[in-house]
Amino acid sequence: MNNVVGFIGLGSMGLPIATNLVDGYKLRVYNRTPEKAQSLVNKGAELANSPADVVEPGGVVISMLANDQALEEVVLSEGGILEKLGSGGVHISMSTVAPATAQRLAQQHEQQGSYYLATPVFGRPEAAAARKLWICLSGNEAAKERVLPLLNGLGQKVFDFGEQVGAANVVKLTGNFLIVSALEAMAEAFTLAEKNGIERTQVAELFGQTLFACPIYQNYGRAIAQEQYEPAGFKLSLGLKDVDLVLQTAQESQMPMPLASLVHDRLIAAVAKGRGEIDWTGLALGVSEDAGLK
């Protein structure tokens, strides 16, 4: 593939991913807040004035954006990437968005002769920095083959879910649903222990080493047990956005998801109380409040 890579979106996930690219590629970056690009510019990246300016016609552009609206603006608005990307270009979209959004954008790319790949990731900012992401991938086979070496350099494994472009986004939403359900379960379990005079951290340590010896229960469990919800690795407001997408996709699929509805209400309550900027483990505050502990 061409050695020029464009990168759009330098938030908590985008910045460490882009940092891992700057040594191996000629990197052009765009962010609505240009100051966030300074560390990359210091390492040789070129700062662009618009999304279109990161594009090398026929080249590769990566986006890591907060939501569907931001992604569509970067692609379709005046100064967006779609027209300039042109024939043979590949857009690697790492954003967590609705499968329907991915399918719609893929069709619009196809009309211009370019390719849209869905590549949402699992992992927090520290995993991104350490190239330890788990990457889900779906879309055109030839485009995937072209960019696979790049993706392999950003994570510990790429999971290919076929040519149906929205498939990787469905998988991402199911994963985030499983995580947020675990957060609620741990919050309830640890609070039940606390109400009965048992130290929360002891319970988290037991289960993190035995029945649930996996990163979600170990790392998130530690945060919930210690009630450490800042700084946010993944903002609670973004968690609510993702559960909104889960329920939207479930409705379109005629799939009842009562547990998703429960955690959705928990997250809405947290945002209503002004907690949208803390980590999504902070939903556990609502559990403690319901139990009369806060």
Kindly report the backbone phi and psi dihedral angles of residue 29, in degrees, each rounded to the nearest multiple of 5, phi listed first: -125, 150
Q: What is the pLDDT of residues 223-247, one digit of tens each?
A: 999 999 999 999 999 999 999 999 9
What is the topology classification, in CATH, of domain 4-164? Rossmann fold (3.40.50)
Distance CA 191, CA 289 (A): 10
Distance CA 282, CA 131 (A): 26
Q: Do domains 4-164 and 170-290 have the same CATH topology?
A: no
Distance CA 13, CA 65 (A): 9
CATH of 170-290, one of 1.10.1040.10, 3.90.550.10, 3.40.630.10, 3.10.520.10: 1.10.1040.10
Q: What is the pLDDT of residues 189-225, one digit of tens each?
A: 999 999 999 999 999 999 999 999 999 999 999 999 9
Comparing C-alpha atoms, which of 36, 43, 32, 30 is closest to residue 12? 36
- Residue 64 · residue 9 · CB < 8 Å: yes
Q: What is the pLDDT of residues 15-39, one digit of tens each?
A: 999 999 998 999 999 999 999 999 9
| Strand 26-30, strand 4-8: pairing | parallel
Q: Mark whether 172 is an active-site residue.
A: yes
Distance CA 116, CA 287 (A): 41
Cα dihedral sign, 253-257-260-264: positive
Which residue out of 26, 84, 132, 172 is catalytically annotated? 172
* pTM attached to this predicted model: 0.95
Contacts of 284 (CB under 8 A, 6+ apart): 183, 186, 187, 190, 191, 224, 227, 229
pLDDT at 154 over 70: yes
Q: Which residue has the tokens 């939903």?
A: 283
Chain length of the chain: 294
Domain boundaries, the chain: 4-164, 170-290
Q: How much of the chain exceeds pLDDT 70, in percent? A: 99
Q: What is the pLDDT of residues 35-85, one digit of tens each?
A: 999 999 999 999 999 999 999 999 999 999 999 999 999 999 998 999 999
